[in-house]
Amino acid sequence: MDIKDLKTLIKMITETDITEFELETNGEKVRIQRGRPAEAVSYALPQPVAVAQPVALPVSAPAQEKPAATAVSAEAEKSQTITSPIVGTMYRAPAPDAPPFVEVGQTVEKGQILCIVEAMKLMNEIEAEYRCRIVRICKENAQPVEYGEALFLVEPL
Amino acid sequence: MREPVTPDPGSGKTPIEQRMVELFRAEEGKVFSGEELGNALKVSRTAVWKHVNKLRARGYGIESVPARGYRFLTAPDTLTATELSTGLRTGRIGRRIVSADETDSTNLLAFRLAEKGAEDGVVVIADSQTGGRGRLGRRWESPGGVNLYCSVILRPAMPPVRAPQLTFLSAVAVARAVESVTPLCPRIKWPNDILVNGLKIAGLLNEMSSETDTIHFVVLGIGVNLNMKKEQFPEGLRYPASSLMLESGACVNRVEFTRALLTALDTLYEDYLEHGFASARNEWLRRSMVQGRRVRVSSGDEATEGIVGGIDDDGALLLQRGDGVSERVLAGDVTILDDLHP
């Protein structure tokens, strides 16, 4: 899929009420999420290539004019969401008495652990897939999270 | 920290100790006096005592019989790669075994190896752990010579959402191994505690490295209390714990247990990759003995009660509540309520 197709796709989707869209063909995967909290488009190839990071395209989602949405969208403009790959419980620290892995405003390196999501005694360490700054932590410690739910809002650096 | 060496089981054993073991084994159950051993080995009684202690330090069970001498109880049972691999007929799990005398934690070591590319099925085993741990940084007591501490690296080609199912596979594998080498009847407590006579005998902690849609690898951490003695258990445990030896009254051969475990896991994993979760789930349900039972699940201050209808694909416990509403429980501590009046 080239950039033109991608644009067409985004245009098509923004004309509907769909807030989340995923397409997988020939090993390519496109995921478009819009609405809250961040407008993000991710386009990933199975191989690690230069564009493997979610590409922040300036998606012109139809402005769902909602009051108080301005602050969020300003924040979300350069931001990406990091979502939970499993249904589980989010832990912000490795142990109850340990300091949290990350705090808002902190710059984290690629590969750094951001939190743990536990499901059925399987601990999933969520790592930063790129260097970024933590803009918002979307969940409290020890709270349940759904699959695909936002854990962090980050600003890629 | 001594990093993964794969010690040759024969090395480091002085001829005197080797010969002492042979003497003991030639007449099993016999009490040998220090003098008798000394004469046969051509060493002093003090030297005999020293060598006996060296053997004990390596995990040999040699009993001191007051005023009579020494009795050999348990065979050398070293969890080395060479020892374990002999006669192990698995397809994937344990085709490569990395063994260490001591490590911080087999899960951490497995994680490091996996990050360097260790393949699907690599098994990491340590005789003792200096930083054995459980959920949320809790300590897992890991003395040498008595238990099993192992971690298995898996690289299943599936999305991370399915990975929690592997928790049930490892629980079933441990239960099968317990059943195959002891007369005990293990029960699985949701999701993966292994109980014998109501006491916890194993700790399973799984860790995953993944991206949104891809599993890089999963490490199944399996710690089983095999021959741990009462005094080796720390004070103030969260759950009452025991070892297979304490419950069965007989020492468990660690090598035999480990082979049984890896074999069980191999069979389950092969079946899982080929046919999915169904058969592991069914066996888990049978071994958990919760199906159709009335249970209470407590989590913090909250508790739910209901009849267990099974587990779903996420591993969630499906409860039919008294008011007819069905509920899906993702975390909590399960107590069987109709246990006393089956």
Mean pLDDT of B95-100: 92
SS3 B45: helix
pLDDT at B203 over 50: yes
The answer on B66 and B103 residing in a single domain is: no
For chains A and B, count residue pairs whose Cβ atoms are closer than 8 Å.
78
Q: Give the H or E element holding residue B187.
A: strand B187-189
Does the beta carbon of A37 lie under 8 angstroms from any beta carbon of chain B?
no
Give the chain A residue nearest B204 (alpha carbons): A121
Where would I find the H helices in chain A? 3-14, 69-76
Report chain B's terminal Cα–Cα distance, integer Å.
50
The answer on B118 and B151 residing in a single domain is: yes
The answer on B116 and B70 residing in a single domain is: no
Does the beta carbon of A101 lie under 8 angstroms from any beta carbon of chain B?
no
Cis peptide, bond prior to residue B191, ω within 30 of zero: yes
The answer on B65 and B123 residing in a single domain is: no
ipTM of the complex: 0.76
CATH of the domain at B223: 3.30.930.10
The answer on B175 and B250 residing in a single domain is: yes
The answer on B140 and B231 residing in a single domain is: yes
CB contact under 8 A, B160 and A124: yes
117-156 of B, contacting A, C-beta below 8 A: 135-138
| Domain A80-156 grouped into CATH 2.30.29.30 | no
The answer on B131 and B49 residing in a single domain is: no
The answer on B224 and B299 residing in a single domain is: no
**Cα gap A33→A37, rounded to integer Å:** 9
In the prediction, which pLDDT does B283 show?
97
Mean pLDDT of B68-90: 80
Residue B55: pLDDT band (50, 70, 90) is confident
Residue B36: pLDDT band (50, 70, 90) is very high
The answer on B190 and B313 residing in a single domain is: no
The answer on B194 and B153 residing in a single domain is: yes
CATH of the domain at B54: 1.10.10.10
Give the structural domain span for B25.
15-74
Q: Please, which residues have CB within 8 angstroms of residue B134's CB and are 6 or more apart in sequence?
A: B140, B203, B205
Q: Please, which residues have CB within 8 angstroms of residue A51's CB and are 6 or more apart in sequence?
A: A43, A45
**Cα gap A44→A55, rounded to integer Å:** 9
Q: Which domain-ending residue is among B74, B90, B124?
A: B74
Q: Which amino acid is at A104?
A: V
Contact, B37 vs B70, CB < 8 A? yes
CB contact under 8 A, A124 and B163: yes
Residue B58 placed within a domain? yes
User: How do residues B232-287 score in pLDDT, each as one tens digit?
Assistant: 998 888 789 999 999 999 999 999 999 999 999 999 999 999 999 999 999 999 99
The answer on B266 and B138 residing in a single domain is: yes
Does the beta carbon of B302 lie under 8 angstroms from any beta carbon of chain A?
no
Domain residue extents for chain A: 3-33, 80-156
User: How do residues B237-247 score in pLDDT, each as one tens digit?
Assistant: 878 999 999 99
The structure's pTM equals: 0.71
Q: Please, which residues have CB within 8 angstroms of residue B294's CB and are 6 or more apart in sequence?
A: B305, B306, B307, B336, B337, B338
Residue B45 placed within a domain? yes
DSSP string, B234-301: PSS-SS-B--HHHHHSSPPPHHHHHHHHHHHHHHHHHHHHHH-SHHHHHHHHHHHT-TT-EEEEEETT
- Looking at residue B341, the DSSP 8-state letter turns out to be -
CATH of the domain at B322: 2.30.30.100
